[in-house]
Structure 1
Amino acid sequence: MRSRHRRPLLVPVLLCALVVFVARPSGASDGGDGIAGSRISAEVARLYEDAAVATEQYEAGRREAEAQRERARHLEGLLDRQRQDISVLHEDLGRIARAQYRSGGGLPVAARVLLADSPEELMRGQHAVWQADLAVNNAIGKSRRAEARLSADEARARAQWERLDRRNAELAAMKDTLQRKLEEARERLQGQADVSAAAGSCRGAVRLDQPESGLQDGWVAPVETYEMSAGFGSGGTRWANRHTGQDFAVPIGTPVRAVGDGRVVKVACGGAFGMQIVVQHPGGYYTQYAHLASAAVDQGERVRTGQWIGQSGSTGNSTGPHLHFEVRVTPEPGSAVDPVPWLATRGVHL
């Protein structure tokens, strides 16, 4: 069973800001392996956020353009009905003119005066003709004014969605460029992580520039956007017995969050878990974050709920990018409990 979650972005980003993001270089020469590792991790984290912003901007623009297209279609329908009404009025005017002609309405005024039985009859007939003419002329004028307004509205609506389409094409190109740069940076990040995991030695913490809005109270999911894959207790050839955690299918470089306040008791590389972090929480529980591409904390460091402690990857016994997340009663393997209900009792429903 898969589920997809995403918190909406809280701060809209202007188009010009996206241009700046795209213009950033995807690679730079670094002075050493440690500096290079820090820069590539930070670059992936930044591009990850930039790509999310670009996608959100594109989707919002696409929805807005579709709404404008629908408005233009609606106005076009109103115009068609308005033109039909004018055509009916023209036909009514023709019928009135023919009726006036048959009843003498088409006679000159002098002739009608001579043929009228009385002045009152003449005035009544003349008044009825004037009223009919006035009503028809007013209706035609009103309909034509309404048609002019609708035509102007339709033209504005069409111009608006055409502008939106052009802007969305620009946003789509930027989004694609950001995505390409992100994929290239992810490859470099995973390559460095594989070297560390093969050597069994992690480089120091790679600090990530996390927005303060990401820090929270209580508990959170270990990643913000994900699809759930292998669950706790499931079987498979990759595990000696049963799967001991919950896997989250996420791309390389996805920020990994501490699910709650705690202290880092382990940062290690190598082995089946690849690059991993273990955090101790109040109440005697431990959480593990494995197969990482980078670690953003050091052993002994205190962390807060929602803090970025690393980036997802595919190190160790892994067939593809994902986060392996465990909840344990001890810091070591073999004491895991099902993390899904454990998080649910703390208000986090995956």
Structure 2
Amino acid sequence: MVSIRDISIKCGVSVSTVSKALNGYKDVSEETRRLVLKTAKELGYVPNAHARALKTNRTFTLGILFVDDQNNGLTHLYFSHVLNSFKSEAEENGYNITFIHKRWGKQIITLLQNCKFRGIEGVCIACVEPNDPEVQELAKSDVPVVSIDYIFPGCGCVLSDNRNDMAELVRYVYSMGHRKIAFIHGTDSYVTQQRIEGYVSTLRELGLEVRQEYMLESLYTNPYTTKKATEKLLQLEDRPTCILLPDDVSAFGAIEAIQEAGLKIPDDISIAGYDGVIYSRLISPRLTTVRQDTDKIGREAAKLLIYNIEHPQNPKLEPIIVKGELLTNQSVGLV
């Protein structure tokens, strides 16, 4: 493995000069800096992360805490894109990422202990049970935390504009002539609460009745539970003309229930999804949905976390709101 000493011999300068040039110190001439960097590249020099950590007392490591209730892990169609853009932004700024958990070898430890033992400088919390005591302990600790789609007091956060995006979707469905608009929402969470608020407030704004029988719960990204909820709506004597769904993946369950009932989309009943994942473009008829800007959400979370790590005396705690985009496709028809 190529060392700093190898570079210093090749360039004819001291080891300390090479170190300063590689680490961006200003007391090295531009000519020497260019020579050192050029030589390091030619020799295939790779910085020793352990040595860097010892010297700077920093690991440049960001932790990710991610557990979804469906155990989709990194196959989660929404969060996988968010975390990928988080990773890209972190790496572009010289940071590495790792997932944090409750194990240290064979020993069970707390999430905060895991961060401390591994020298994690900051954590992105995404899709977890926020009331978990260990999550609360981590959010209240001196480890900088940025959450996605949830607000922890004293922490930075990046939020999808769930309330206003849902309101825009309801207004669009209304503009297509629908007055009986049902909503199969996800299980209780900050995101769900915001979407329900957007749905309810917009119905009232439009002079429509908020009908409890039109509001049913389903697991996120679960076609089976969404199918069951859709079947209940279709069995109502005064059934809805449009059903808003928890997400695009769940739309497969709704479509199956509607087809088994002998109905056609959008001729007999309309549906709309949420998230804008690739499946929304594969469904026939193409799904009307709200596309969340996963690239921006992930990148903004990484930028915010890095800023708060590097500016501990003046962290940014104001929520960053990321607007979605309404995609009007074929699954919502005119009434």
Scaled by the length of structure 1, the TM-score of the pair is 0.23
Between Structure 1 and Structure 2, the one with more helix by share is: 1
Scaled by the length of structure 2, the TM-score of the pair is 0.24
